[in-house]
């Protein structure tokens, strides 16, 4: 299986925490959409005829596009790729875009999964993050989509926000549960250098919450959702049974994917490439038939490290037999003492030749993964 990701690099306004590639100007929207369609045609052989199981509109804010504009992009995909009979087609959307009329228009497209960027059901949090929607719009967007027949809805939430108490965070979680969505992605707030929050932090105008608070928020999230029938299948992702994100799961399980649009990444098993993160240069490169991108050929060590990094964060864990066969590495033999210490500390378990993180281990997922990396000197 394989997937296609389309990066729509436009937003209504800049969220204070976001460091993804986007523009708040829509002046280049039409040439950008033409360039996206052209790149889909130009790179139709990248996935070597593999069946496309998932299509994902990310950004940016793809819900700024009309249903007709989204459909024209999908038409090019279906015309040039071998698309499965029942693909998962996800649209990232902001609540303020999901009016009744917009949702009605979306039901007439093949889009069958909505990823709604709610972030919080509290107006004070939304204002602090400079989100464009209100708490009322967040609630309405989910209920309206459900009323119009969308049965696969995921929402994003953010915790570790300065001033967000544990009680307020638990209310956010419970609100998500009460809305009966199928999937929830929840992320600890990170302060990136080139964002508004990064600038505020460097000036001492804002301070990140303590690690103990982040851990408290994470455990409250995990416990509440699991009691409510959700499965944690990746550190930040929870779903009702069978409702995991097929697109993101494919990433974590090493499937190939094509990324279209400025800053979009692609992976074909042997190399990774990413388009230039500049709208004007991206459009010009496509128009001139010379797309601007960089390529990294992956060696055995890089592929091993990426496998460890992604799989350790998931419920599937690290398959020791796969590591032996694919990379020629006896991980238990190489890291025997370290793994035994983690087992004794109840950070990791080994069952049926699979290493998986415990609840305590999930709090240290990145650190444990980096300890297992091979560092070339």
Distance of CA 326 to the CA centre of its chain: 26
Please, are residues 20 and 60 in contact by the beta-carbon 8 Å criterion? yes
329-342 confidence digits (pLDDT tens): 999 999 999 999 99
Q: Has residue 344 got a pLDDT over 90?
A: yes
User: pTM of the prediction?
Assistant: 0.96
**Stretch among 107-116, 155-164, 197-206, 284-293 having the lowest mean pLDDT:** 197-206
Second-level CATH architecture of 2-251:
Alpha-Beta Barrel (3.20)
Q: Has residue 312 got a pLDDT over 70?
A: yes
Q: Has residue 123 got a pLDDT over 80?
A: yes
pLDDT band at 375 (very low <50, low <70, confident <90, very high): confident
164-211 confidence digits (pLDDT tens): 999 999 999 999 999 999 999 999 999 889 888 889 988 988 888 999
As a whole number, mean pLDDT of residues 242-248 equals 97
Domain with CATH 1.10.10.920 in the chain: 303-372
Share of the chain above pLDDT 70, in %: 100
As a whole number, mean pLDDT of residues 59-84 equals 98
Buried-exposed string 316-333: b where 16+ CB fall within 10 A, e elsewhere: bbbbbeebeeebebebee
Name the average pLDDT for the chain.
96
Domain with CATH 3.20.20.70 in the chain: 2-251
To the question of domain 303-372 being in CATH 1.10.10.920, the answer is yes
Q: Has residue 377 got a pLDDT over 80?
A: no
Q: What are phi and psi of 269, to 5 degrees?
A: 95, -30
pLDDT computed for residue 48 by the predictor: 96
Q: Within 13 A of 59's CA, how many CA atoms are on the CB side?
A: 27
Spatial separation of the C-alpha atoms in residues 307 and 165, rounded to whole Å: 36
pLDDT computed for residue 19 by the predictor: 87
The greatest distance separating any two alpha carbons of the chain, rounded to the nearest whole angstrom, comes to 60
């Amino acid at each position: 299986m394989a997937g296609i990701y389309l990066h729509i690099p436009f937003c209504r306004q800049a969220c204070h925490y976001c460091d993804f590639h986007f523009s708040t100007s829509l002046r280049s929207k039409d040439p950008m959409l033409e360039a996206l369609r052209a790149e889909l045609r130009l790179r139709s052989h990248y996935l070597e005829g593999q069946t496309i199981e998932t299509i994902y509109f990310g950004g940016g804010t793809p819900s700024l596009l009309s249903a007709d504009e989204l459909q024209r992009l999908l038409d090019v995909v279906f015309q040039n790729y071998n698309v499965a009979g029942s693909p998962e087609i996800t649209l990232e959307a902001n609540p303020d875009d999901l009016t009744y009329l917009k949702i009605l228009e979306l039901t007439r497209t093949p889009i069958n999964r909505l990823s709604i960027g709610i972030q919080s059901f509290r107006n004070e949090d939304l204002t602090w993050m400079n989100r464009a929607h209100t708490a009322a719009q967040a609630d309405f967007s989910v209920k309206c989509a459900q009323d119009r027949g969308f049965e696969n809805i995921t929402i994003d939430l953010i915790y570790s926000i300065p001033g967000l108490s544990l009680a307020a965070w638990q209310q956010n979680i419970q609100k998500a549960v009460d809305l009966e969505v199928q999937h929830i992605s929840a992320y600890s707030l990170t302060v990136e250098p080139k964002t508004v929050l990064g600038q505020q932090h460097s000036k001492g105008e804002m301070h990140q919450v303590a690690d103990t608070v982040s851990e408290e928020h994470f455990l409250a999230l995990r416990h509440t959702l699991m009691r409510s029938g959700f499965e944690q299948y990746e550190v930040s992702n929870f779903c009702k049974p069978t409702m995991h994100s097929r697109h993101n799961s494919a990433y974590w399980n090493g499937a190939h994917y094509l990324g279209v649009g400025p800053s979009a990444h692609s992976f074909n098993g042997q190399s990774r490439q990413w388009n230039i993160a500049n709208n004007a240069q991206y459009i010009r490169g496509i128009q001139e038939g010379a797309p601007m991108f960089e390529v990294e050929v992956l060696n055995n060590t890089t592929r091993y490290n990426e496998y460890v990094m992604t799989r350790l964060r998931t419920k599937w864990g690290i398959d020791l037999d796969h590591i032996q066969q694919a990379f020629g590495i006896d991980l238990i033999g190489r890291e025997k003492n370290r793994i035994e210490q983690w087992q004794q500390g109840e950070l990791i378990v080994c069952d049926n030749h699979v290493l998986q993180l415990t609840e305590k281990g999930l709090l240290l997922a990145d650190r444990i993964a980096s300890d297992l990396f091979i560092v070339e000197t």
